[in-house]
Amino acid sequence: MTIEPILAADGVTLAYGARPIVIDASLAIAGGERVAIVGPNGAGKSTFLRALTGVLTPRAGGVRLCGAPIATVDRMVVARTIAVVPELAQLPFAMPVDEVVALGRLPHEPPISGLRPSDEAAVVAAIERVGVGHLRRRDARELSMGERQLVFIAVAVAQAASILVLDEPTAHLDIRHQVEVMELVRDLNERDGTTIVAVLHDLALAAHFFPRIVVMDGGRIVADGPPAATLDEAHIRGVFGVDPALVRLPAGAA
Protein backbone atom coordinates (compact mmCIF):
# COMPACT_ATOMS: atom_id res chain seq x y z
CA MET A 1 0.00 0.00 0.00
CA THR A 2 1.45 3.34 -0.95
CA ILE A 3 -0.90 5.61 0.98
CA GLU A 4 -0.62 5.61 4.77
CA PRO A 5 -4.00 4.49 6.17
CA ILE A 6 -5.62 7.06 8.50
CA LEU A 7 -6.58 4.29 10.92
CA ALA A 8 -5.10 0.81 11.00
CA ALA A 9 -5.33 -2.24 13.23
CA ASP A 10 -2.43 -4.70 13.00
CA GLY A 11 -3.16 -8.16 14.38
CA VAL A 12 -5.27 -6.79 17.24
CA THR A 13 -6.14 -9.31 19.94
CA LEU A 14 -8.34 -8.31 22.88
CA ALA A 15 -9.54 -10.33 25.83
CA TYR A 16 -11.56 -9.82 28.99
CA GLY A 17 -9.70 -11.98 31.48
CA ALA A 18 -8.91 -15.24 29.76
CA ARG A 19 -11.83 -14.92 27.34
CA PRO A 20 -10.68 -13.72 23.91
CA ILE A 21 -13.09 -11.24 22.31
CA VAL A 22 -11.15 -10.14 19.27
CA ILE A 23 -8.52 -12.39 17.69
CA ASP A 24 -5.79 -11.19 15.35
CA ALA A 25 -7.90 -8.57 13.59
CA SER A 26 -6.19 -6.47 10.95
CA LEU A 27 -7.87 -3.62 9.15
CA ALA A 28 -6.52 -0.65 7.22
CA ILE A 29 -8.85 2.27 6.62
CA ALA A 30 -7.83 4.98 4.19
CA GLY A 31 -8.84 8.59 4.65
CA GLY A 32 -12.25 9.27 3.12
CA GLU A 33 -13.43 5.65 3.26
CA ARG A 34 -16.85 4.55 4.46
CA VAL A 35 -16.67 1.22 6.28
CA ALA A 36 -19.41 -0.79 7.99
CA ILE A 37 -18.58 -3.53 10.45
CA VAL A 38 -21.26 -6.22 10.68
CA GLY A 39 -21.54 -9.51 12.50
CA PRO A 40 -23.74 -11.42 14.93
CA ASN A 41 -24.06 -10.43 18.59
CA GLY A 42 -20.89 -11.29 20.48
CA ALA A 43 -18.74 -11.21 17.35
CA GLY A 44 -16.49 -8.62 19.01
CA LYS A 45 -17.52 -5.65 16.85
CA SER A 46 -17.92 -3.10 19.64
CA THR A 47 -14.82 -4.29 21.47
CA PHE A 48 -12.82 -4.00 18.27
CA LEU A 49 -14.22 -0.49 17.84
CA ARG A 50 -13.04 0.41 21.35
CA ALA A 51 -9.54 -0.67 20.42
CA LEU A 52 -9.70 1.27 17.15
CA THR A 53 -10.63 4.43 19.07
CA GLY A 54 -7.86 4.01 21.63
CA VAL A 55 -10.06 3.21 24.63
CA LEU A 56 -8.89 -0.40 25.00
CA THR A 57 -5.26 -1.41 24.73
CA PRO A 58 -4.86 -4.66 22.77
CA ARG A 59 -3.24 -7.75 24.32
CA ALA A 60 -1.35 -8.19 21.11
CA GLY A 61 -1.02 -6.12 17.99
CA GLY A 62 -1.62 -2.41 17.83
CA VAL A 63 -3.63 0.44 16.39
CA ARG A 64 -2.07 3.26 14.41
CA LEU A 65 -3.67 6.65 13.88
CA CYS A 66 -2.15 8.44 10.87
CA GLY A 67 0.82 6.10 11.20
CA ALA A 68 1.50 6.71 14.90
CA PRO A 69 0.68 4.16 17.63
CA ILE A 70 -2.57 5.52 19.02
CA ALA A 71 -1.45 5.13 22.65
CA THR A 72 1.35 7.63 22.01
CA VAL A 73 -0.92 10.29 20.50
CA ASP A 74 -2.07 13.07 22.84
CA ARG A 75 -5.67 12.52 23.99
CA MET A 76 -6.84 15.90 22.77
CA VAL A 77 -5.32 15.24 19.35
CA VAL A 78 -7.07 11.85 19.23
CA ALA A 79 -10.32 13.57 20.21
CA ARG A 80 -9.88 16.12 17.43
CA THR A 81 -9.21 13.31 14.93
CA ILE A 82 -11.73 10.64 15.98
CA ALA A 83 -15.26 11.53 17.03
CA VAL A 84 -17.29 8.72 18.56
CA VAL A 85 -21.04 9.01 18.91
CA PRO A 86 -21.55 8.67 22.69
CA GLU A 87 -23.48 5.82 24.24
CA LEU A 88 -27.00 6.78 25.21
CA ALA A 89 -26.02 7.61 28.80
CA GLN A 90 -28.63 9.21 31.04
CA LEU A 91 -27.64 12.77 31.91
CA PRO A 92 -27.42 13.43 35.66
CA PHE A 93 -28.93 16.92 35.42
CA ALA A 94 -31.41 18.76 33.24
CA MET A 95 -29.53 20.03 30.20
CA PRO A 96 -30.77 21.79 27.05
CA VAL A 97 -29.99 20.01 23.80
CA ASP A 98 -27.77 22.79 22.46
CA GLU A 99 -25.58 22.59 25.56
CA VAL A 100 -25.29 18.83 25.15
CA VAL A 101 -24.20 19.27 21.54
CA ALA A 102 -21.74 21.97 22.66
CA LEU A 103 -19.88 19.31 24.66
CA GLY A 104 -18.62 18.09 21.30
CA ARG A 105 -16.44 21.19 21.18
CA LEU A 106 -14.49 20.29 24.34
CA PRO A 107 -11.41 19.10 22.42
CA HIS A 108 -11.32 22.33 20.44
CA GLU A 109 -12.26 25.18 22.78
CA PRO A 110 -9.85 26.90 25.18
CA PRO A 111 -9.93 25.03 28.53
CA ILE A 112 -10.93 27.92 30.80
CA SER A 113 -12.87 30.44 28.75
CA GLY A 114 -14.94 27.87 26.87
CA LEU A 115 -16.85 28.25 23.62
CA ARG A 116 -15.53 30.78 21.13
CA PRO A 117 -17.84 32.19 18.45
CA SER A 118 -16.39 29.69 15.97
CA ASP A 119 -17.28 26.86 18.37
CA GLU A 120 -20.82 28.15 18.73
CA ALA A 121 -21.10 28.29 14.96
CA ALA A 122 -19.95 24.67 14.75
CA VAL A 123 -22.58 23.70 17.33
CA VAL A 124 -25.35 25.48 15.41
CA ALA A 125 -24.17 23.89 12.18
CA ALA A 126 -24.12 20.40 13.72
CA ILE A 127 -27.62 20.87 15.13
CA GLU A 128 -28.93 21.95 11.73
CA ARG A 129 -27.08 19.21 9.89
CA VAL A 130 -28.52 16.44 12.04
CA GLY A 131 -31.93 18.09 11.92
CA VAL A 132 -32.56 18.56 15.64
CA GLY A 133 -33.03 22.35 15.51
CA HIS A 134 -36.57 22.02 16.84
CA LEU A 135 -35.20 20.32 19.98
CA ARG A 136 -32.57 22.96 20.80
CA ARG A 137 -34.03 24.27 24.03
CA ARG A 138 -35.54 20.98 25.19
CA ASP A 139 -34.15 19.15 28.22
CA ALA A 140 -32.15 16.30 26.71
CA ARG A 141 -33.48 13.94 29.37
CA GLU A 142 -37.08 14.42 28.21
CA LEU A 143 -36.39 13.26 24.68
CA SER A 144 -37.38 9.93 23.21
CA MET A 145 -34.64 7.36 22.60
CA GLY A 146 -34.70 8.19 18.90
CA GLU A 147 -34.42 11.94 19.47
CA ARG A 148 -31.63 11.41 21.97
CA GLN A 149 -29.80 9.22 19.47
CA LEU A 150 -29.91 12.06 16.95
CA VAL A 151 -28.70 14.58 19.54
CA PHE A 152 -25.75 12.38 20.45
CA ILE A 153 -24.89 12.02 16.77
CA ALA A 154 -24.91 15.83 16.65
CA VAL A 155 -22.38 15.86 19.52
CA ALA A 156 -19.98 13.84 17.39
CA VAL A 157 -20.68 15.95 14.31
CA ALA A 158 -19.92 19.11 16.32
CA GLN A 159 -16.61 17.51 17.25
CA ALA A 160 -15.66 18.00 13.57
CA ALA A 161 -13.11 15.20 13.49
CA SER A 162 -11.77 13.62 10.31
CA ILE A 163 -12.96 10.17 11.46
CA LEU A 164 -16.52 9.57 12.68
CA VAL A 165 -17.18 6.34 14.56
CA LEU A 166 -20.70 5.10 15.18
CA ASP A 167 -21.72 2.01 17.14
CA GLU A 168 -25.24 0.97 16.21
CA PRO A 169 -26.31 4.50 15.27
CA THR A 170 -29.74 3.35 14.11
CA ALA A 171 -30.58 1.07 17.04
CA HIS A 172 -33.37 3.24 18.47
CA LEU A 173 -34.63 4.82 15.27
CA ASP A 174 -37.66 4.09 13.13
CA ILE A 175 -37.10 3.23 9.48
CA ARG A 176 -37.38 6.84 8.26
CA HIS A 177 -34.87 8.11 10.79
CA GLN A 178 -32.59 5.15 10.07
CA VAL A 179 -32.45 6.15 6.43
CA GLU A 180 -31.98 9.81 7.35
CA VAL A 181 -29.03 8.99 9.58
CA MET A 182 -27.50 6.83 6.88
CA GLU A 183 -27.95 9.62 4.35
CA LEU A 184 -26.38 12.09 6.78
CA VAL A 185 -23.43 9.75 7.28
CA ARG A 186 -23.02 9.33 3.52
CA ASP A 187 -23.25 13.09 3.06
CA LEU A 188 -20.61 13.75 5.74
CA ASN A 189 -18.42 11.25 3.94
CA GLU A 190 -18.94 12.41 0.37
CA ARG A 191 -19.26 16.14 0.90
CA ASP A 192 -16.89 16.74 3.84
CA GLY A 193 -14.54 13.82 3.27
CA THR A 194 -15.14 12.46 6.79
CA THR A 195 -13.94 8.89 7.18
CA ILE A 196 -16.79 6.76 8.52
CA VAL A 197 -16.50 3.59 10.60
CA ALA A 198 -19.86 2.22 11.71
CA VAL A 199 -20.99 -0.93 13.45
CA LEU A 200 -24.38 -1.87 12.03
CA HIS A 201 -26.85 -4.65 12.61
CA ASP A 202 -29.03 -4.02 9.60
CA LEU A 203 -27.35 -5.79 6.67
CA ALA A 204 -29.62 -4.15 4.10
CA LEU A 205 -28.72 -0.65 5.34
CA ALA A 206 -25.06 -1.59 5.45
CA ALA A 207 -25.10 -2.97 1.92
CA HIS A 208 -27.03 -0.01 0.59
CA PHE A 209 -25.01 2.78 2.16
CA PHE A 210 -21.50 1.36 2.56
CA PRO A 211 -19.11 0.49 -0.26
CA ARG A 212 -16.95 -1.55 2.11
CA ILE A 213 -18.21 -4.13 4.58
CA VAL A 214 -16.14 -5.86 7.25
CA VAL A 215 -17.77 -9.06 8.53
CA MET A 216 -16.76 -10.28 12.00
CA ASP A 217 -17.58 -13.64 13.53
CA GLY A 218 -16.25 -15.18 16.72
CA GLY A 219 -13.78 -12.35 17.22
CA ARG A 220 -12.21 -12.68 13.78
CA ILE A 221 -12.59 -10.67 10.61
CA VAL A 222 -13.95 -13.24 8.17
CA ALA A 223 -14.64 -11.03 5.17
CA ASP A 224 -13.68 -7.55 4.04
CA GLY A 225 -14.71 -5.97 0.78
CA PRO A 226 -17.63 -4.62 -1.23
CA PRO A 227 -21.13 -5.81 -0.26
CA ALA A 228 -21.36 -8.13 -3.27
CA ALA A 229 -18.36 -10.08 -2.00
CA THR A 230 -18.98 -9.92 1.75
CA LEU A 231 -22.75 -10.15 2.13
CA ASP A 232 -23.24 -13.06 -0.24
CA GLU A 233 -25.47 -16.02 0.54
CA ALA A 234 -22.64 -18.12 1.92
CA HIS A 235 -21.61 -15.50 4.49
CA ILE A 236 -25.15 -14.70 5.55
CA ARG A 237 -25.89 -18.38 6.07
CA GLY A 238 -22.52 -19.20 7.59
CA VAL A 239 -21.99 -16.15 9.83
CA PHE A 240 -25.49 -15.11 10.80
CA GLY A 241 -27.10 -18.53 10.54
CA VAL A 242 -30.21 -17.33 8.76
CA ASP A 243 -31.82 -18.05 5.43
CA PRO A 244 -30.39 -15.44 3.01
CA ALA A 245 -33.88 -14.98 1.57
CA LEU A 246 -34.81 -13.21 4.83
CA VAL A 247 -32.30 -10.45 4.12
CA ARG A 248 -33.38 -8.29 1.24
CA LEU A 249 -30.25 -6.63 -0.05
CA PRO A 250 -30.22 -3.85 -2.64
CA ALA A 251 -30.21 -5.05 -6.21
CA GLY A 252 -26.70 -5.86 -7.34
CA ALA A 253 -25.33 -6.21 -3.81
CA ALA A 254 -25.45 -9.96 -3.64
Residues at the interface with another protein (CB under 8 A): 53, 55, 75-76, 78-80, 82-84, 86-87, 89, 91-96, 98-100, 102-104, 106-107, 109, 111-112, 114-115, 117, 120, 123-124, 136-137, 139, 141-142, 155, 159
Q: Residue 240 in contact with residue 216, Cβ under 8 Å?
A: no
Nearer to another protein, 156 or 182 (CB): 156
Those residues whose C-beta lies under 8 Å from the C-beta of residue 111, and which sit 6 or more positions away, are none
User: How many angstroms separate the CA atoms of 199 and 10, rounded?
Assistant: 19
Beta carbon of residue 127, minimum distance to another protein (angstroms, whole number): 9
Work out how close the CB of 159 gets to another protein at its nearest, in angstroms, rounded to a whole number: 7
Closer of 44 and 104 to another protein (Cβ) = 104
* 220-225 β-sheet, strand order: 82-84, 163-167, 195-199, 34-38, 212-217, 220-225
Smallest distance from another protein to CB 245, Å: 38
Of 13 and 46, the one with the shorter C-beta distance to another protein is 46
Q: Which of 196, 165, 205 is nearest to 33 (CA)?
A: 196
The gap from C-alpha 64 to its chain's centroid, in whole angstroms, comes to 17
- Determine contact, residues 140/103, Cβ cutoff 8 Å: no
Q: Closest CB to another protein among 55 and 242?
A: 55
Q: How far is the CB of 190 from another protein (least distance, A)?
A: 24
Tell the smallest beta-carbon distance from residue 93 to another protein (Å): 4
